[in-house]
Homo-oligomer: A and B are copies of this chain.
């Protein structure tokens, strides 16, 4: 039951919360031993803070939950490919695995530069269509 799709669906639920709040819909959950220890969604508008990406706040929350600053033994589920800032934070945090959904060809770290830690496995594509559709809907509704 607690498979990768379950956790990505939880990250997607976080993205939906962002959507409902008028934030760019990106969500994250961080998992340690099949337990969600942190979750978050983008809050840049509400907090008036460009650093308030879902990943940044979730990394901080997970470190608090663990009581240590490195996310060894953790897996990070993100609905969208992280930007350079968030990839940089993940680089320092060194989780075991990063699983992201949709690719971000404009602002993702693979386009803009940066990298995850060599110890971190990376996978992509899980629920990519749903996450990309949510983003597309969001920006379409904003343009109206």
Contacts and interface: CB of A to CB of B under 8 A. Distances in A.
A114 interface: yes
Nearest to A92: B50
Contacts of A115: 84, 112-113
A70 B112 CA distance: 19
Nearest to A86: B88
A63 B50 contact: yes
Interface in A91-106: 91-93
Contacts of A69: 44, 48-50
A129 interface: no
A56 interface: yes
A55 B63 CA distance: 19
